[in-house]
Each structure stands twice: as C-alpha cells, then as structure tokens.
Amino acid sequence: MQPPAFARRASQLSPTLPAPAPPENIAFDSGHAFPGVLPDLTAEAATALAQYRAETLQYAPRMGLPALRAWIADYMTADGARVSADNILVTNGAKHALELVCRLLLDEGDGVVMTSPTYFSAIPIIRSFGVSFIEVGQDRAGLDVDQLAAILDRRRKDGKSQPKFIYDVPDFHNPTGVTMSAERRAVLLDVAAAHGVAVVEDSPYRKVRFEGASVPSLKALDERDVVLQLGTFSKLMAPGLRVGWVAAAPPLVARMAQLKSDAGSCPLTQRTILEFCANGRLAQHVARIQDRYRANRDRMVAAVRRELPDVSFVVPHGGYYLWLTFPDGVNADELAACANQIGVTVISGSRFFARADVAHPRNQVRVAFSHADEDEIDEGVRRLAAAYAAVANGSAATALR
C-alpha cells in the first residue's frame, strides 16, 4: 500500500530512527542521570497507591494535582519568582511544556530566536510548527543581547513581524555549560519587553550547581510578565518520571491546559513526587546529586586536559555537559562516528544548531559527564582521544571499517 500523504511536519522526517548506540559503549551522549543517585521512591509510590488510590488511579485534574501545583509555586517562590499555584500547569516534562508553549504561540511562518548553539531536542519540537529560526550568538556571559537588540530593531524598521519568543537555557546552558550573567538577564528582559517578544526560560539544571552563587532566574526578574519558565523533575529527581511544569501568567496556562491532549498528567507519578518533596527529602537529594555530578565533572575535566590537550572548553559550574572545541579542520561528525565505533558515544556539535542554511563551526562535540562512573569517564575520554588521533591522521576511515 502507498504510504499516506504526510503532513508537512512529517514529510521531511527520516522513515527510520537512528540506530541506537551499541549498549556496551560508554555513554557520553545522553542526559541520563547517574544510576547511583536515582532516588528510592518505593515508600512514596506505595503511599500514593494505598492512601491516595481514588486520586492516583483516576484521571487527574487538567492543570495538575492542586497540592503539587502549590508545592511547585512555593519552590519557585523560594527561588525568587512571584508566582502562585494559578501560574503553574503540570506537564509530562519540560519538552512537553515547550511543545505546549509552541501550540499556544506559534503559527506557520512565525519566527523563533534560538541561541547558536542550542539544546538539540528543542529544535525539532519548535521546527515542527513550521517556523523560521533566528540564531543569536553567545559568549561566556550568555546570549548576545546587543546582537538580539540589533536584529529586533532592524525588523521593526523594516516593518517585519517580530519573532514570537526567544528560547534560552540561561543556567548551565545545554550544550555550552555557560550561565548568563545577571546584567545580561536584565537587558534580555528589557529588549524582549520593548519588542513584545516572549522569553521561554528552560532551566532544568538550575539546582545542579557545583560552586558559586546562583544568578536570579529570568522568572524572578520578570516584572512585565514576559517569561514562560519551563521546569522539570527530570534533573531534580529522575528523568523517567516524566513530570515537569510551565510557569506563566494564568490566562496563558489556562489556554495551554486546554491544548493538552492527555487532559491531565499521570496522577500516580505526581503524587509520588509530591510525597518525596513535601516530606523534605528533595533538599538532601539535591545535595547528593550536586556532589556526584561535581565529582564527575572534575574527573572529566582532568581527563580531557590530560588526553586531549589540543581541545578547548569552558569549565561549567554546574549542569551535565562539557562542550569541546577541537582544532580547526576537525570534522566533528566524522569524529563522533569514529568514537562510536571505538566504544564511546558522543554527540557531534552539528546537531545543536537550529539553522541548516547557514555555516556553523564543525569542530565541536558535546560530552555528558552525568551518566558514566569515574573509571568509565577516564576510559571514555581515552577512547575519544584515540578517535581524534584517527581522524586527525586520516585513518578514521580504517577505524570505521
């Protein structure tokens, strides 16, 4: 039978998913949690099923469990944001929250601002709405707000419509690890408000900080209600839970709730999370993950300095990733393919750029230090160095055979 006529958003997609990495590979590719710090939720899940059966095995309220929305609002308030439960919509993770923001704001042909590079999973979600991407650079202080202002001013002068939103990861950016400075955050909000553009703040790593004082979140600085903040329990507790939220003005979250096709997110998982958080276990757990990921970061930084002295990178103060820049001329796609063959899975930097029609650096790779243990980190970086040597001396094709 002929395949059905696909919608535009599906017609460009590959008919097959990429082959999974060999399971025996050391995984530097994914944002998986370190297995040893996954929380034991047995008691909380048992309570959720036994004491709250009538709630947890029924459909949930569309906006999320009221008690969880209130807990999230308190959590955000403690982080400086002025929100109440009315601002919170519970979702199936931050990516789902992003999709709902897109469903709320985007029509085909709209523009969206992304940093260059940006979180690679956000790109296909936003792209599927038929938008055009506007890329803005970043440096060690985060998104280049002068460049952003110049682009938006130019569009205003040319009578062009403004982009619908600016998407950024201001804390421990994925993939670069950069945290936006407080000054930049203030300017970003001024520029966005002046041009009537919303800001989508995706900040899953905010609490995964290893050192230094935290910078106020964009939502905490948001006096004009331009920010929609995406939150998630994926990095706070465990990615498999698939619970997150979006925090925004009540008329926005009420509309997103109506666009949510599952009606309400899973109440059993929401109640299990609430039992964990409301009983005070989260703070201790966060301290544990900070210690684990700090140790992993330190181990990977030392290994890269030792094994890959030609490579430059900024040491992140939190998050899960190092963004490695190899010498000019190194093709990261080839390097990643070779590394994958040699037994370490990394992601080529080319996947982190939203626009396919402009040139980007081709010599960057993202490596995650979150999932591997310390010995695997040493061995994985040794394998990456072997792949680099093979690519640099032209023998990668032999290694790939």
Ligand X SMILES: Cc1ncc(COP(=O)(O)O)c(C=O)c1O
Give me the residues that bind ligand X (CB under 6 A), please.
31, 93-95, 119, 169, 174, 202, 204, 232, 234, 239, 244
CA–CA distance, 228 with 199 (Å, rounded to integer): 6
Nearer to ligand X, 63 or 236 (CB): 236
Q: What are phi and psi of 168, to 5 degrees?
A: -150, 160
Residue 196 tokens read as: 């009537």
Q: Least distance in Å: CB of 50 to ligand X?
A: 27
Q: How far is the CB of 124 from ligand X (least distance, A)?
A: 13
Report the nearest approach of ligand X to the CB of residue 94 (Å): 4
Joined together, the tokens standing for residue 263 give: 């009606």
Q: Which is nearer to ligand X, 30 or 162 (CB)?
A: 30
Residue 168 or 307: the one with the smaller Cβ distance to ligand X is: 168
For residues 111 and 175, which CB has a smaller minimum distance to ligand X in the complex? 175
CA dihedral angle for residue 321, residue 345, residue 342, residue 369, rounded to 10 degrees: 30
Distance between CA atoms of residues 317 and 206, nearest Å: 10
Q: How far is the CB of 317 from ligand X (least distance, A)?
A: 16
- Judged by CB, which is closer to ligand X: 195, or 285? 285
Residues paired with residue 321 on neighbouring β-strands, in sequence order? 368
Report the alpha-carbon distance of residue 379 to residue 384 in Å, rounded: 9
CB of 4 to ligand X, least distance (A): 29
Least gap, CB of 169 to ligand X (angstroms): 4
Spell out where 271-325 has E strands: 321-325
- Going through 248-331 in order, the beta strands assigned E by DSSP cover 321-325
Q: Which residues contact 338 (CB under 8 A, 6 or more apart)?
A: 387, 390, 391, 396, 399, 400
Q: Which CB, 177 or 396, lies closer to ligand X?
A: 177
To the nearest whole angstrom, how small is the minimum distance from the Cβ of residue 233 to ligand X?
7
Nearer to ligand X, 95 or 195 (CB): 95
- Please name the residues in contact with 312: beta carbons below 8 A apart, sequence gap of 6 or more: 324, 325
How far apart are alpha carbons 244 and 233 in whole angstroms?
A: 6
- Rounded Cα gap, residues 187 and 159, in angstroms: 23
Phi first, then psi, for residue 153 (nearest 5°) are -60, -45
Do residues 312 and 325 touch, judged by C-beta distance below 8 A?
yes
Residue 22 zone, left/alpha/beta (φ > 0; ψ -120 to 50; rest): beta
In the complex with ligand X, which residue's Cβ is closer, 7 or 17? 17
- Closest CB to ligand X among residues 95, 285: 95
Asked if the peptide bond before residue 117 counts as cis, ω within 30 degrees of 0, the response is yes
What is the smallest separation between the CB atom of 343 and ligand X, expressed in angstroms? Answer: 23
183's enclosing H/E stretch is helix 182-195
Q: From the CB of 389, what's the least distance to ligand X, in Å?
A: 30
